[in-house]
Chains A and B, each alone.
Chain A
């Protein structure tokens, strides 16, 4: 199956710093989503971004589908940004039927200190 690798595994920042999280995947994808898992365990949809660039406030994401990676940028980080960030992909099932199964990476644990 498709492999999803996220880096770095852990990231510690001071409030106000910027950061870049990376997601590499081993095959072409039909769907790529970024999630933030908050301290209560909920998965918060950040971006649906199988290709291209999107921005939402201090967060932005870019997926370069041809090179099989996606980046999540966090600018001016805040303590509330702390948590685990997951990338999840659905492989492009050329010629077949896609049922939408998402494969998740291991996540990046982000800690933002005041």
Chain B
């Protein structure tokens, strides 16, 4: 069964460093997402991406964040200068086509980011 994969599973970084989280969505899916979950809290939407453009983003997704689909399979989230409060679990998700009957979202296993 196709699945969303994410690397690395854990990332530890120093405050102020740049990090790139990587995801491989399901191959025939068109929409891609990043969500994050601070420890003990609910999962929050960060950004959606379609056709090489951001289609929607939350207030959390400020200028420190960027997303990219550098090739036909990978989808990345970059945090330019990490802060302590960026420590969280980051989930990638993908779906075939939102707003239709094929809009189930499939989530990756997550990357746990720790900023020291």
Q: Which A residues form the contact surface with B (CB < 8 A)?
A: 30-31, 33, 35, 40-43, 45, 48, 86, 88, 90, 93, 97-107
Cβ contact of A86, chosen from B31, B42, B98, B110, cutoff 8 A: B42
CA distance A30 to B91 in the complex (A): 21
Q: Is the interface of B mostly helix, strand, loop or mixed?
A: strand
* Chain B CB within 10 Å, residue with most, of A42, A43, A86, A90: A43
Cβ-defined contact, A98 with B104, below 8 A: no
Chain B: interface residue total (CB-CB under 8 A): 26
Contacts of A42 on B, CB cut-off 8 Å? 109-110
CA distance A100 to B105 in the complex (A): 8
The stretch from B15-23, B48-56, B68-76, B79-87 touching chain A is B48-56
Contacts of A35 on B, CB cut-off 8 Å? 107
Contacts of B98 on A, CB cut-off 8 Å? 30-31, 90, 98-100
CA distance A35 to B109 in the complex (A): 12
